[in-house]
Amino acid sequence: MESELAWNPFKRKTPAKSARAEAAQTAVVKPLIREAHRRGPEPGGLPRFNTTASDQMSGRGDRFSAVRAKLRHAFTPSQPVADRRLFAGRDDVLKTIIRSIEDQRLHVVLYGERGIGKTSLMHVLTQAATEARYIVVYTSCGANSNFDETFRAAAAEIPLLFHSGFSPTTAEAEKGSSLADLLPNEPLTPRKFGDLCARLTGTRVLIILDEFDRAESASFRRDIAEVIKNLSDRLGRVQLVLAGVAADLTELVEHIPSIRRNIFALRVPKMTEAEVLQIVANGEREADLKFDTQASAFVVEVARGSPYIANLICHHAGHAALDAGRSTVLPSDVASAVDRTILEFQGRIASPAQAHVRRLFEQGRQDALAMTSRAALAADGVFDASDIETTNHISARKAQDAIEVLANERLLKSMPGESEPRYAFVEEGLPTLIWMIWAQRNLNREAAVPRAATGS
Ligand SMILES: Nc1ncnc2c1ncn2[C@@H]1O[C@H](COP(=O)(O)OP(=O)(O)OP(=O)(O)O)[C@@H](O)[C@H]1O
Ligand SMILES: [Mg+2]
């Protein structure tokens, strides 16, 4: 415990200040701000952008400026992967999706936790289908998505020459008209859209509705179920791919239970170790950086199968190495990246919950916290005692104890409607934050070996 406290950067970097010291510091800072205003910014004094908006180097950077610029594209924690060279793993998932579209002519529902890689998969699927000459319409749903707007836009992407009523040489087809030109002025219905699609020939269309969970309208969901039914019954050449979170499939199927047969639902799993290592390797290649073996192992340990965390940690670790004047990333850089990541996560979680978690760490309850958060991360947030048991290789008794500790602290809520009691953390981001704090305290910064591993 003692070494943990010495190791904790929050303790080191933010010593407690007395109110008097703070007031004295404010008194010094204020005149400085006034002075700076009078003089204007000092040349070279303030942080500047290193690259211009057109991605050109500004010429003011250090010797690693070029590597820094490449690093931005190599690890993209805030964006889905659009570039195939940076897309790691997922061969099986992609193969399964393609087979269900191609061989079984099913509509696909892809679900999985936030940041697991659904949109990135949709981008790669789009590329693969476009190569096979499918017409692919990609739509990212929003809170206000409605059927009329979404499917009119989709119809506008389908050239009229594929409508069996128009030969490619008719004037309309030649002048680049689309199916949207055949739509009535009144609001588009699933039936009308299905009718139109039934007339398509000589092509296949994939309509991808990403971020489906963001659409709030119940009637939009009902219309989607309706259109899936309609397209399936009429052997249409149009297939839907929906990407969102798990609950939406249930809700979708509730409307028309029989569409279950027409849908292939797939949960995007956590990444394997090899897949996370591929993220690291892709980034190394792209940015001309090298992660030493221990540093890569550290990334794998911390990411726990999340491509988002892997990208975030690699991004920060790469910058930490460059800041230290190295183009080789060491375990200590990954440790700094964990510190940065914790700071970022803190901004996203309510402060009382954070303070509560930190207090439990200080009180030596880290085993219960770590084991439960591991199970939550492995099970998409909702878990039971047996998940804790298997993820941590511990006894059923110990797993139950861990649940009791955190339930008593009101950090867990029980999930309704299950025969076996199931739980989730009271805030979605808590398992990741807890896991990061555990890693920060327990993974050796120099060698990335668990120092006081709980149950792993
Ligand atoms: N196969 C992959 N290879 C490399 N990086 C990936 C891969 N899949 C996802 N990522 C990275 O993981 C992060 C999350 O990816 P993405 O946005 O695709 O997830 P998502 O499931 O669509 O998230 P959300 O639920 O928020 O919509 C991004 O930083 C992305 O770059
Ligand atoms: Mg997404």
Quote the CA–CA distance of 159 and 216 in Å, as a whole number: 30
What tokens appear for 447 in the block? 């060698």
Nearest ligand 1 atom to the CA of 113 is 25
What is this structure's pTM? 0.81
Residue 208 CB contacts under 8 Å (≥ 6 apart), including other chains = 122, 125, 126, 136, 137, 138, 139, 240, 241, 243
How far away, in angstroms, is 122 Cα from ligand 2 center? 9
pLDDT tier for residue 30 given thresholds of 50, 70 and 90? very low
Q: What is 137-157 written as a DSSP string?
A: EEEE--TT--HHHHHHHHHTT
Q: Which residues of 245-276 are buried (b: 16+ CB within 10 A; e: fewer)?
A: bbebbeebbebeeebeebbbbbebebbeeebb
What pLDDT, on the 0 to 100 scale, is given for residue 418?
63
How far away, in angstroms, is 288 Cα from ligand 2 center? 28
Beta bridge partners of 422: 415
Top mean-pLDDT range of 19-23, 101-105, 110-114, 376-380: 101-105
pLDDT tier for residue 43 given thresholds of 50, 70 and 90? low
How far away, in angstroms, is 210 Cα from ligand 2 center? 7
Residue 13 CB contacts under 8 Å (≥ 6 apart), including other chains = none
Q: To test the ligand 1 pocket, which listed residue (81, 110, 309) has its Cβ within 8 A of the most ligand atoms?
A: 81
pLDDT of 441 strictly over 50: yes
**Ligand number with the minimum distance to the CA of 140:** 2
Quote the CA–CA distance of 147 and 219 in Å, as a whole number: 8
Nearest ligand 1 atom to the CA of 114 is 25
Dihedral sign (CA 166, 167, 170, 175): positive
**Ligand number with the minimum distance to the CA of 308:** 1
* pLDDT tens digits along 47-79: 676 666 666 665 555 677 788 888 888 898 889
3-class DSSP assignment, residue 329: strand
Ligand 1 pocket at CB < 6 A = 76-77, 79-81, 86-90, 114-120, 211, 279, 307-308, 311
How far away, in angstroms, is 117 Cα from ligand 1 center? 3
pLDDT of 290 strictly over 80: yes
Domains in the chain (CATH in brackets) are: 65-81+272-346 (1.10.8), 90-267 (3.40.50.300), 351-442 (1.10.10.10)
